[in-house]
Amino acid sequence: MSKYAAFDNETALDYIKSLGQFFAEDAQLSCYEFGDGNLNLVFRIEDQANNSIILKQALPYARCVGESWPLTLDRARIEALVLQQHGSVCPAHTASVLHHDSNLAVTILEDLGHLAILRSELIAGRTFDNLGYDVANYLATTSFYHSDFYLDPQEKKAQVQTFTNPELCAITEDLFFDDPYRDCERNNFPSALTEQVMQLRQNKALLCVVARLKAKFLSSPQTLLHGDVHTGSIFVGAKQTKLIDPEFGFFGPIGFDIGSFIGNLLLNYCAQNGRVKEPPKRRDLHSYLLNTISTCLQQFEQQWHTLSQKHTRDHALQAAGYIDSFLQEVLQDAMGYCGAELVRRTIGLAHVADIADIADESQRLLVQKQTLQLGEQLILNAKSCRSTDDFYQLIISFVH
């Protein structure tokens, strides 16, 4: 079985049986497809003793649109390799790859069904004490060990080639930095937002910063990114956090992943204004989200400092004071990308359930107005910040 064909439940099960390495020969297996994402098929295969694995297969088009939006199957290779690379330095927070077949665009993964998707949990108002620390640990560790601070220059350049991901990067480039700031048929927002959107598109200072953010995304291969760190790509439990789905992975600016994560927490923060009517409960959720952001920023910076002091291999990058200026720029980038995430999730193609599923239309509109304004201000003011405290205070100043 080497020629590509999209699986169904039966053929996925046949494929697992043909491998013969995951279940006993006489196991009674069941299989069902449950993928609800935009790009892939996802199957769970389970035996009678509840042992299970996940089979993920890339489709040659965007599932959310159909065959009119073709996509490369090579993204399955990218995803499996990113998970393996990130897992080699941060296994505690990276989903484990058990098998990969590039011809069929298939990756077999550990089943994380004992955990829950973070987005759904946050929407429901459930909280996780270790979230900020765990995500900071993942982002700091994976970004440091795939950066110029640690990798040999020849090895780094070879990895940049290996992880070149032009088609998936083009999606990010369009949806993040282009579509929201122009009239594009992919955009999706209520007519009541039109005036605010037009003002945003006419803000020359904002457009200049967005251009800088895009230029850095295009031309700054600082580290091997996950490329799509939103709350739908994170599994959580009381004592465990795991990241999945890095098919948008490539070598890009370090601030992109942490900015995307914080942006999704802020989307949920704003959404709670339209979801939770009881002020005490809403205040508790808001406090939790802001504390998680603060923890993530501080731990990310502290861990990068620690790793750079102990493990930097490049002599020039060991210069006194350089790491401080480097991290300041990374975090400024992160705030800019955070703002871009808020803008594009409000008026672009891909919305988030946190906001889109608010039943009350008037409440949903108020939330959308807030996320759009917050995103704009974070983009405009990111460069004024010099420390993690500054970044936190910047967020605080616009959410209260």
Q: Tell me: the pLDDT tens digits for 302-335?
A: 999 999 999 999 999 999 999 999 999 999 999 9
Residue 26 has φ and ψ, to the nearest 5°, of: -100, 15
What is the b/e burial string over 72-85, where b = at least 16 CB atoms within 10 angstroms of the residue's CB? ebbbbbbbbbbbeb
With beta carbons less than 8 A apart as the criterion, state whether 302 and 225 touch.
no
Query: What is the radius of gyration, based on Cα positions, of the chain?
Result: 21
Residue range 123-151: average pLDDT? 98
The per-residue pLDDT for 66 is 67
pTM of the model: 0.96
Question: Higher confidence at residue 352 or residue 36?
Answer: 352
Interval 236-269: pLDDT, tens = 999 999 999 999 999 999 999 999 999 999 999 9
Closest CA to 348 of 171, 189, 170: 189
Mean pLDDT over each residue of the chain, to the nearest integer: 96
Residue that is written with structure tokens 């942006």 in the block = 263
Closest CA to 345 of 378, 365, 382, 375: 375
Whether the pLDDT of residue 195 is over 70: the answer is yes
Residue that is written with structure tokens 């369009």 in the block = 174
Domains and CATH numbers, the chain: 9-110 (3.30.200.20), 116-399 (3.90.1200.10)
Whether the pLDDT of residue 143 is over 90: the answer is yes
Residue that is written with structure tokens 């942490």 in the block = 258
Interval 350-364: pLDDT, tens = 999 999 999 999 999
The per-residue pLDDT for 2 is 66
Spatial separation of the C-alpha atoms in residues 400 and 380, rounded to whole Å: 18
Q: Which H/E stretch holds residue 107?
A: strand 106-110
Write the CB contacts of 294 (distance below 8 Å, at least 6 apart in sequence). 132, 388, 392
Whether the pLDDT of residue 1 is over 60: the answer is no
Cα 93 from chain centroid (whole Å): 14
In the structure encoding, which two tokens stand for residue 109, read together?
């993964």
| DSSP string for 138-176 | HHHHHHHHTSTTTS-HHHHHHHHHHT--HHHHHHHIIII
Handedness of CA 251, 254, 257, 259 (dihedral sign): negative
Overall size of the chain counted in residues = 400
CA distances from 69 to 12, 35, 105 (A): 24, 18, 17
CB atoms inside a 10 Å sphere around CB 245: 24
DSSP lists the bridge partners of residue 167 as none
Whether the pLDDT of residue 38 is over 90: the answer is no
3-class DSSP state for residue 349? coil
The per-residue pLDDT for 188 is 97
Q: What percent of the chain has pLDDT over 70?
A: 98
Whether the pLDDT of residue 372 is over 70: the answer is yes
The per-residue pLDDT for 37 is 64
DSSP H helical ranges for 163-241: 166-172, 194-201, 204-219
